[in-house]
Chains A and B, each alone.
Chain A
Amino acid sequence: MASVAPTVEFDLDQISLRELNQFLHHDLGSGDHVEITHPNGRHSIAVGIDADVDVQIRGHAGYYVAAMNKRAHVTVHGNVGWGVAENIMSGVVRVKGNASASAASSGRGGLVIIEGDAASRCGISMKGCDIVVGGNVGHVSGFMGQLGRLVVCGDAGAGLGDSLYEAVIYVRGQIASLGADAREEPLSKSDISALVELLDQAGFAHEPSEFKRIASSRTLYHWNAAHLGSYG
């Protein structure tokens, strides 16, 4: 008989954030299922997990929820503050509501899904993570994005993709304006398959061909012909 992973419950009205995070860092069993109730907008909930676990946060979370996540699947059943899943390394973080500024900033791997809207600077400084936003993103999203993919199913605010490096942004709706050095490029086959994969993982049934591809025109790079091959 297959064993059922145990569920561990934490009520943040009853225990401290520090106890919760220390449990998540040191006492988790593989495959554990963690339920967190009464988050009440507290900051830094479930930061720095490095385990194959499923974490459900029942309510709104403050800044930096699931920051620096590795391997874990974290779902927030509510809205989140600044820097959700900042510097995420791997795993999946899903927000059922909206996210405030700097969602998944400097994320290096893994997938962040915002089912609602994300505010300004979504994906700022991203370094390899994937982000799918069901609604709109605020201004200067994707700023200095180095690597990874940001998919926006709604509209994007002003200055999208400013100073982009090698990250790629896909937008289905309107773009208020592009930032410095960002440009629209035609969708390639590999863009379509990336979109199919990411939309599928995020659970959004949009037609990939409806998206625009935004990438760096690389005019702000220090051009060096000898390294042209590295630019992809």
Chain B
Amino acid sequence: MSEESYSYNRHVIDYIQQAAERGVYDIRGMGAKRRLPTFDELVFLTASLSRYPLEGYRERCVTKTILGTRKAKRPVELATPITIAGMSFGALSARVKEAIGRAATAVGTSTTTGDGGMTPEERQSSKTLVYQCLPSRYGFNPDDLRKADAIEIVAGQGAKPGGGGMLLGQKINARVAAMRTLPEGIDQRSACRHPDWTGPDDLTIKIEELRELTDWEVPIYVKIGASRVLHDVKLAVASGADVVVLDGMQGGTAATQQVFIEHAGIPTLPAVRQAVQALEELGVYGQVQLVVSGGIRTGADVAKALALGADAVSIGQAVLIALGCNSRHYVRSAGGDHAWESVDVTDEYRHLGTEPGFCHHCHTGRCPVGVTTQDEELEQRLNVEWGARRLQNYLNVMTMELSTLARACGKSNVHHLEREDLVALTVEAAAMAQVPLAGTDWIPGKKSY
């Protein structure tokens, strides 16, 4: 049998032939799918003789997290450092937004609006809601601004740093169109540059404007996609941000060009370390909080991000997965209290040209499990109560995993996890995270530890 080319393998051949056939580039949802360095390449040096562990389940381990202490009168106080990332109404249905809000409120964390503005459903269901100020300014208004518990200026996103977004016409129903002041059914471009500021000097003035608009009450976050992290974090801090939100390359999107998702920005692992370095070099570590997102999947990921110096994380794709994304079934109420029955939708995945477990077809608006859709029939597939309970479970599990690891490292507060608690399993991860390679005291790029 003849050998498959490495450079021109079947995927590359398919890509070239599709491009030649259709003359358009691929647009898709979710995040990078190629192999990237992840937090899996780090492990904890938990306690034994040289460190004392805390008794799991008995000794207290604080998970309380406070964001926005630098200048705001009312910092955001959360019961867990795991927050929910900005996802737009338009990409998600109002039901999904409500389920997310309910779960977040139950576990004491924050949710975030997205491109498209704030829905009453999410404001009502979310105790702590972060309001995004995006380049498109779709749905942006002073009334919702004043209802926010924090404001997040989005300068970039990990899935597409330097690029704008796209909401394809099939997802623009009457409500989405009205919120965005655009006709129904047309493809909506989300700009990559803000209409009223350019660069860090302007951003300083923009942040001050938002503070004046909200009487200096709530924290201002600045979200950046991870690329030139060291410089960008410093500029965000210099511009006056209370919180820097750093979204790594694994971060998801509702829809953007595939070429962006797979080829732009840097992974979350090296990005966190650079962001912490930037805060340390400016002497504002602990004063300006760092929230990290992009590929946070487990309590272990959260613990590692915190140990590297983050104050909190935020999750997006994992939220959707908890709500049933890429699952073979959706569930519907079977009448009695909390009785559910599963409905197999494998055929609908196939109809989209995919399979459960492989789907990234959020951009089509035909989500088989009713998560990323505006279709009246499909969106009913997400039962709000069921979804809220699932997400609440998932957030609780991650928080417990996090505190379990912290206790095992001898910490009575998850925020006491530190870089010294970590080693790397690969030279690459050791270099990126600047922690020693396991079994050595060698940190690549440094002479000794």
Contact = CB atoms under 8 A, between A and B. Distances in A.
Given A67-B209, A82-B202, A87-B137, A224 B215 contact: no
Contacts of A227: 169, 183-186
Contacts of B137: 87, 105-106, 125, 127
A63 B183 contact: no
Given A43-B205, A89-B141, A166-B182, A18 B216 contact: yes
Contacts of A44: 205, 208-209, 212-213
Nearest to A82: B196
Nearest to B215: A22
Interface string A97-118: 0000010011010000000000
B216 A68 contact: no
A91 to B, nearest CB: 12
Contacts of A83: 195-197
Contacts of B180: 146
Nearest to A127: B181
A64 B196 contact: yes
Contacts of A223: 186
Given A64-B209, A68-B213, A222-B169, A147 B181 contact: yes
Nearest to A62: B205
A230 B184 contact: yes
Contacts of A138: none
B195 A106 contact: yes
Interface in B184-237: 184-187, 189, 191, 195-197, 202, 205-206, 208-209, 212-216
Interface string A39-51: 0000110011010
Contact of B209 (A47, A108, A144): A47
Chain B residues touching A, majority SS:
loop
A223 B172 CA distance: 13
Chain B CB count within 10 A is highest, among A50, A125, A128, A143, for: A125
A125 B136 contact: yes
A71 B140 CA distance: 17
A47 B207 CA distance: 13
A21 B210 CA distance: 12
Interface in B132-149: 136-137, 140-142, 145
A94 interface: no
B168 interface: yes
A163 interface: yes
Contacts of B184: 227, 230
B182 A224 contact: no
A121 B183 CA distance: 23
A221 B216 contact: no
Interface residues of A, number: 46
Contact of A87 (B142, B185, B186): B142
Interface in B113-163: 136-137, 140-142, 145
Contact of A106 (B196, B208, B216): B196
Contacts of B196: 64, 82-83, 86, 102, 105-106, 124
A221 B187 contact: yes
A166 B202 CA distance: 28
Chain A CB count within 10 A is highest, among B177, B183, B187, B202, for: B183
Contact of A221 (B142, B177, B186): B186
Given A18-B216, A64-B205, A105-B195, 18 more contacts: A18-B212, A22-B215, A43-B209, A48-B213, A63-B206, A64-B196, A64-B209, A70-B142, A86-B196, A102-B195, A125-B195, A221-B187, A224-B185, A227-B169, A227-B184, A230-B177, A230-B183, A232-B183
Interface of A: 17-18, 21-22, 25, 43-44, 47-48, 50, 62-64, 67-68, 70, 82-83, 86-87, 89, 102, 105-106, 108, 121, 124-125, 127-128, 143-144, 146-147, 163, 165-166, 221-224, 226-227, 230-232
Interface of B: 136-137, 140-142, 145, 168-169, 177, 180-187, 189, 191, 195-197, 202, 205-206, 208-209, 212-216
7 contacts: A18-B212, A48-B214, A68-B141, A82-B196, A82-B205, A221-B187, A227-B186
